[in-house]
Structure 1
Amino acid sequence: MSRKKEHTRPVPAGPRPTGPKAAQVRLPAAGAVAVAAALALTGCSSGGSSSSASSPAPTASSSGSPSGSGIKPASSAPAQSGNQLQDAYQKVIADVLPSVVQITTGDSLGSGIVYDDKGDIVTNAHVVGTATTFTVTLANSTTSLAASLVASYPDSDLAVIRLSSPPSGLKPAVFGDSGKVELGQITLAMGSPLGLSSSVTQGIVSATGRTVSEPRGGGSPGATIGNMVQTSAAINPGNSGGALVNLNSQVIGINTLAATEPEANGAAAPGIGFAIPASTITSIADQLIKQGKVTNSGRAALGITARTGFNQQFQPAGAVIVAVSPGGAAASAGLQAGDVITRIGDTQVDSLNALTTTLAALTPGSKVTVTYTRDGASKTADVTLGTLETP
């Protein structure tokens, strides 16, 4: 059976990994990594615990266990608790799945999330690539709808497309508060993995605040994205652009990357996926819809142009400043072209990629100490970070 192409690309996750086996990350679909739906336990744990606590103490069974023998019949509480969790899953799926769509771009498949009732759909920039027209299929529907590009912002790997004729009853997703995402919360990933539309997988929030660098190619410029949510919910090719949801039926992220094992010929590393957080999604999507471009990236910057510097052994040894933007953060702190940045705060910088990754984890207005060399001498400067300018 033939199937449309779903891109998968290896990429290093976060700062340069150390240790014997550094995991890599892939973009699970040329236009598609399903957003995992994070389901917070707060929606069901209280019901399960109260049910168990209120169960009356069991007595001797009529089948012959003598009173006082210490043998008690099994409590039904675990089954009740399991049913409550299952009911919570099913409610979230019923609430959110109608807001998750499949996007077809040429011969590639991806996923997206209905953003408003005007037909705007948010997805990954690497899903849309260079295309400007798309075919969209709503959940539980076989009708193909035409859509066109509103705008794309590859630096944050986000894009918005718009349905040409939005149907009645279009259901926008509800986006959650990224600041309330915590480790251990249940997540559901919804999207079209391998072209299987309206698919759902489950897991938990494994970590927050991850900084991950994407691979270049296939519509991605190799963006470095900070504050990503790591989840154990399965993320497969075709899931890109889909929803990561919590148990309150709120989208907490757009699933974008999945880990691969570099020593296993790029085979998937199960249970390690990454989603762009809801706060980034709403900030960028609102700007793309209202202005057609991003004017406030929300990303920290030094206000420099730089390249990787090498030592006499031809090993990466820092980020060389090529040019300093007048009035920018670096210029205000006295940094100059030719300076070689070797550390930001306590984080070593041995390349341009390391500098970009470090800055992606910081926020505009943060104060950091920059260590650099000038004419062979090591110096430091206290810098108040600016905002990354957009074209």
Structure 2
Amino acid sequence: MDVSRARRLLLPLTAAACTVALVGGCSFGPAPRGERSTQAAAPLAANELEDDYRAVIKDVLPSVVQIDAVDSLGSGIIYDGKGHIVTNAHVIGEEQNFTVTAATGKEPMAAKLVATYPEQDLAVIRLNSVPAGLKPARFGDSAKVDVGQIVLAMGSPLGLSGSVTQGIVSATGRTVSEGRTGGGTGATIPNMVQTSAAINPGNSGGALVNLDGEVIGIPTLAASDPELGGGSAAGIGFAIPASMVKTVAAQIVKDGRVTDSGRAALGITGRTVLDDDYEPAGVAVVEAPADGPAGKAGLKAGDVITRLGDAEITTITSLSEALAAMKPGDKVTVTYERAGRADKVEVTLGEI
């Protein structure tokens, strides 16, 4: 519907409403004092919100960068004053060297890979030379992120450096599995922040920011609708929570790798199996090392896992999502089939 058409549809309704009101004494005279004060407050509140937006953008945008690799382009956030930049692993890909450009338009800078952590789709790179005035971002508390919060997404969507979109936190605690097509890592990521702020290719690795100027997440994924041929679903994007970003980045900066993921693992290599109707029916164990959690519990190659605790397991993705809700050291009952017979075993989960 174009704008002129929309106005033509709205005008008769407005007129009709006034005609009905006139029967009861509709008036176009001065509004009562209480109504006038409410009308005056509305533009004032709008101006204050606009000022908040501008202040946050001015504060945070200098901490957001564009990252150019040979085969990809994305965004990043300045993590500290030593030139470390945190971004998505899928932005980095297999590259080692990058060109980094500040969102504020300064000269491009060279950077090198420190380490990637594809299991959480995070990575850290470091500037070869730290420029004067480098401004690290402030990361917020993920526990305080709430549905309805106004947020701004900052990055380089479609290569448009320094772009800002706005929306709200539309859900929290989402577990989302990332595909491997289009350069994805295939990671299953728990506790993601869902937002209505527009997230487009190039936003990955950038900043999702609250009105206190704190980074509450890294935009990573946009939902897709298979019925639309896999196209992005408008207004549904996901960001890795700041708590996980800080945990992973701190370990990479300190040790050059992730030493404590906090992510539960069953300790198998598996594949999805189909039933007689060609529907996903479980995860077949391809390999279960004897010293791993599953192997120690007695699971072995050829077993088909159908439940993990209370969660039904039909695919590798559903198994990953069930594990994402658990912690290393948790004891869980695994239901499986072996040679056509169902059985159960208790497994103490390990760590990714």
TM-score calculated relative to the size of structure 1: 0.77
Q: Could you say which structure has the larger radius of gyration?
A: 2
One of 285, 295, 304 as aligned partner of 1:321? 285
Q: Which residue of 1 aligns with 2:266?
A: 302
Deviations 1:57-97 (A, max 9, x none): xxxxxx9869xx89853422222222222222222112211
Aligned partners of 1:121 and 1:71: how far apart in 2?
52
Maintained 8 Å contact 2:77/2:85: yes
Partner of 2:46: 82
Residue 258 of structure 1 aligns with an amino acid whose one-letter code is: A
Contact map agreement 2:89 2:185 (CA 8 A) in 1: no
8 A contact 2:63–2:78 mirrored in 1: yes
How many angstroms apart in 2 are the aligned matches of 1:98 and 1:235? 19
What are the equivalent positions in structure 2 for 1:51-62 lying under 5 Å apart? Answer: none
- Residue 106 of structure 1: which of 70, 73, 80 is its match? 70
1:256-282 superposed Cα distances (whole Å, 9 cap, x missing partner): 111223222333311000111111111
Deviation (angstroms), 1:125? 0.9
Contact 1:209 1:361 (C-alpha < 8 Å) held by counterparts: no
Tell me what 1:149 maps to: 113
State the distance in 1 between where 2:155 and 2:48 align: 24
Contact 1:129 1:218 in 2 (8 A): no
Counterpart secondary structure, 1:197: coil
Look up the match of 2:204. 240
Would you say 1:292 and 2:236 are equivalent positions? no
Distance 1:205 1:129 in 2: 28
- Distance in structure 2 (CA, Å) of the matches to 1:365 and 1:209: 21
Q: Percent identity?
A: 61
User: Partner amino acid for 2:99?
Assistant: T
Q: Which residue number corresponds to residue 3 of structure 2?
A: none
Q: Deviations over 1:343-380 (max 9, x none)?
A: 12222111222212221232223343322223333233
Kindly indicate whether the alpha-carbon contact (under 8 Å) linking 2:72 and 2:92 is maintained by their aligned counterparts in 1.
Answer: no
If asked which structure has higher relative contact order (CA below 8 Å, sep 6+), I would say 1
Alpha-carbon shift at residue 316 of structure 1 (Å) = 2.4
What does the per-residue CA deviation read over 1:206-229, in whole Å, with 9 as the maximum and x for residues that have no partner?
Answer: 111212121214443322212111
Within the candidate set 214, 222, 225, 2:189 is matched to: 225
CA contact (8 A) 1:139 1:197 kept: yes
SS of 2:262 mapped into structure 1: coil
Unaligned runs of 5+ in 1: 1-62
Give the aligned partner of residue 21 of structure 2: none
Amino acid at match of 1:207: A
- Does residue 73 of structure 1 match 2:36? yes
CA 1:221/1:70 → structure 2, altered by over 3 Å: closer, same or farther?
closer
2:263 and 2:197 mapped to 1: Cα distance?
A: 27
The aligned amino acid for 2:262 is G
Moved more, 312-321 or 187-196: 312-321
Instruction: Name the amino acid aligned to 2:94.
Output: T
Q: Distance in 2 between matches of 1:218 and 1:296?
A: 28
The amino acid across from 1:354 in the alignment is: S
Of the three residues 292, 295, 318, the one matched with 1:354 is 318
Give the CA deviation at 1:327. Answer: 4.3
What is the match of residue 339 of structure 1?
303
Q: Structure 1 pair 348/64, CA: closer, same or farther in 2 (3 Å)?
A: closer
Q: SS at the partner of 2:59?
A: helix
AA aligned to 1:121 is I
Which residue is 2:11 aligned to?
A: none
Q: How many residues align?
A: 324
Where does 1:44-193 land on structure 2 (aligned, <5 Å)? 72-75=35-38, 76-106=40-70, 108-193=72-157
Question: Cα deviation per residue 1:21-46 (whole Å; 9 max; x = unaligned)?
Answer: xxxxxxxxxxxxxxxxxxxxxxxxxx
Q: What SS class does the counterpart of residue 90 from structure 1 fall into?
A: helix
- Contact 2:272/2:284 (8 A) holds in 1: yes
Q: Give, as a single letter, the amino acid of the residue that structure 1 aligns with 2:36.
A: P
CA RMSD in angstroms comes to 2.3
Match of 1:303, SS state, is: coil
What is the TM-score normalised by the length of structure 2? 0.85
